[in-house]
Amino acid sequence: MDLNFTAEERAFREDVRQFVRANLPDALAKKVLGGKRLGKEEVLTWHRILFRKGWVGYTWPREFGGTGWTAVQRHIFEEECAAAGTPPLLPFGLVMVGPVIMEFGNSAQKERFLPHILSGEDWWCQGYSEPGSGSDLASLQMRAERRGDHYVVNGVKTWNTLGQHANWIFCLVRTNTQVRQQAGISFLLIDMKSPGIRVRPIRLLDGEYDVNEVWLENVEVPLENLVGEEDKGWTYAKYLLGHERTGIAAVGRSKRELRRLKRIAQEQRAGGRPLIEDARFRDRIAQVEIELMALDITCLRVLAAESENRTPGPEASVLKIRGSEIQQSLSELMMLAVGQNALPYVPEALTDGWHGDAFLDGLDGQDAPFLDRAPLAGAYFSDRKCTIYGGSNEIQRNIISQMILGL
């Protein structure tokens, strides 16, 4: 494999870099790079900027309004955006349900939903996990009974990310109880404004409300919102999860956080010298950097396979495992580097404009370093879930063993 970028690809990188520099609001970049909390409109601000440029569907083919970029171009774009501190593009529409509709949806669904995903008019969320069906997703119990020209849906979904902002949800539902679990599941698109839907926020370890329980009680869903065939939803779900797990690798974000780790280790002093000069700590940084380089190469291989219309195989699970573990390693090393200044977790520090309070008086005799490092604890807490969502890493190892070893 030739890992050198061509002259055209280097020119493309420069074009992306210049566009991002010219169009990304400074205040927004500072919030992202500083680990501050982002609101719905702030996330959509960058989405709309890219939409006007025609780049928001950078993973989509041209026929559906995308860029038609190569795998390498997409990789370069993600790297440059992460390095600059752009808000993340929400994956639920662009990376998850969008490709499913393109591949398995009918023409009416493509015309109705895909343009609104690109424009940002529709904010999608995911309805997969349930209180009793997490890693064993095929055991889900949410029922959808067909009555005339609609389904009546009852049940609850959990760990639903940002559903409090969404106006559409894609759900796996059980439409047949007389067959094996995987064979009785369907894929429905549900309007979140439908009567009978209730969203209950769940407070996470980092104090944030990013996930929810979504309750559906006698919710009527038109038959035309069924994607593909009834009882074939498990096939579509696996297709979607392959795309989701590739994105969880977050290579660009991890490269940015690696640079942040090195900067912190250079600034922090241990025994009168920069921490990065400590051989043991420097070795730990080198180890995670080597792992990230290997992940980067694997990601390129997976993207190349997708560009050839090949469904992601076990590599998608490898990306999910190693990507999530690297994210955790980076946040752990930053916490270790900062030491006691990272111990107090103050959720208010994630709010733009917060300047500390009396609680911080006397902390190492100075407040300034803490103000810069305060979000580290929240990131550390949040990254605990990386190895769980999108299919836990234990499940991913089972998938790898089945697909490669036949076990």
Clarify whether residues 222 and 80 are in a common domain. Answer: no
CATH of the domain at 138: 2.40.110.10
Q: How far apart are CA 33 and CA 257, in angstroms?
A: 9
Last residue of a domain, one of 170, 198, 231: 231
Residues 6+ apart with CB under 8 A from 30: 36, 85
Query: What is the Rg, in whole angstroms, of the alpha carbon atoms belonging to the chain?
Result: 22
- For residue 247, the model assigns a pLDDT of 64
- Note whether 337 and 265 are within 8 A (CB): yes
- Residue 66 shares a structural domain with residue 156: no
Provide the CATH number for the domain around residue 352. Answer: 1.20.140.10
Q: Which residues of 372-393 are buried (b: 16+ CB within 10 A; e: fewer)?
A: bbbbbbbbbbbbebbbbbbbbb
* Residue 12 forms part of a structural domain: yes
Nearest to 293 by CA among 243, 324, 255, 245: 255
Burial of 213 (0-12, 13-18, 19+ CB in 10 A): middle
Asked whether residue 329 is assigned to any structural domain, the reply reads: yes
Q: What is the pLDDT of residue 3?
A: 59
Domain of 130 in residue numbering reads as 124-231
Residue 244, domain member (yes or no): no
Task: Flag whether 156 is in a domain.
Answer: yes
What does the DSSP assignment read for 40-92? HHHHHHHHHHHHHHT-TTTTS-GGGT-----HHHHHHHHHHHHHHTPPPPPHI
What count of Cα atoms within 13 Å lies in the side-chain half-sphere of residue 402? 8
- What is the per-residue pLDDT across 61-83, written as a single tens digit (0 to 9) for each? 999 999 999 888 988 999 999 99
Say how many domains are in the chain: 3
Q: Among candidates 261, 248, 258, 254, which has minimal Cα distance to 387?
A: 248
Q: Which ranges in 249-278 belong to alpha helices (H)?
A: 251-267
In this structure, the answer to whether residues 68 and 140 fall within a common structural domain is no
Do residue 325 and residue 389 come from a single domain?
A: yes
| Shared-domain flag, residues 218 and 272 | no
* Rounded CA separation 89/98 (Å): 13
* Gap between the Cα atoms of 372 and 341, Å rounded: 10
Residues paired with 124 in a beta bridge: 168
All residue ranges of the chain with pLDDT < 70 are 1-3, 242-247, 303-312, 343-345, 352-374, 407
288 and 334 assigned to the same domain: yes
Using CA atoms, how far apart are residues 390 and 131, in angstroms rounded to an integer? 15
On whether both 267 and 380 belong to a single domain, the answer is yes
Is 59 domain-assigned?
Answer: yes
- Judgement on whether residues 279 and 312 belong to the same structural domain of the protein: yes
Q: Which residues pair with 169 in a beta bridge?
A: 125, 190
Please check whether residues 129 and 218 belong to one and the same domain: yes
Q: For 81, what's the count of Cα atoms within 13 Å in the CB-facing half-sphere?
A: 19
pLDDT tens-digit series, residues 167-192: 999 999 999 988 888 889 999 999 99
